[in-house]
Amino acid sequence: MTKRVAGTIINPEDAGTSFLVQQVAGQYKFYNLSVLENQTPLASVLWQLRHVVGIDVDQLRLYDSVVAQSGTENVSLFVFNHLKIDAAIRESCRQHGLVFVPARELHGLFESVKVNTIPSFENLSK
């Protein structure tokens, strides 16, 4: 079974905050990918954003990291801030099926992803 990881980039603007997402079968999803062999989930997201999407990940700042449940699958979800989202970044994302969508249009996505805010350390004792 391939381990999965998800990521998004927050883009705060005067008109409101938008999130980097992909649209799959008419529904928005966080950017979801496989964890690369011999890499951590975080390293896998950063590698994909840099080498596939073409984003300068040195400009990203980790905003949050949570374990989220999407359907029956638990994934690490990494949320980044980016120092400056410009037209070149938007176009590179678009070429890879990723778009920045205003948060007000993502209610279905936010409701479909269950976030566990309780540390998983207590599961280690079982």
Neighbours of 37 (CB within 10 A): 7
Confidence of residue 125 (pLDDT cuts 50, 70, 90): very low
When computed from its CA atoms, the radius of gyration of the chain, rounded to whole angstroms, is 15
User: Is residue 2 classed exposed, middle or buried when 0-12, 13-18 and 19+ CB atoms within 10 A define those classes?
Assistant: exposed
Global pTM reads 0.85
Amino acid at 68: A
The pLDDT value recorded for residue 108 is 84
- As its CATH architecture, domain 4-121 has Alpha-Beta Complex (3.90)
Model pLDDT, residue 42: 96
Is the per-residue pLDDT at 62 higher than 90?
yes
Distance (Å, whole) CA 103 – CA 51: 27
- The ranges assigned to domains in the chain are 4-121
Helix (H, G, I), strand (E, B) or coil at 51: helix
- Nearest by Cα to 114 from 73, 63, 69, 51: 69
* pLDDT tens per residue, range 74-107: 889 999 998 788 999 999 999 999 999 999 999 8
In contact, 31 and 20? CB cutoff 8 Å:
yes
d(CA 54, CA 89): 8
Tokens of 110: 């936010």
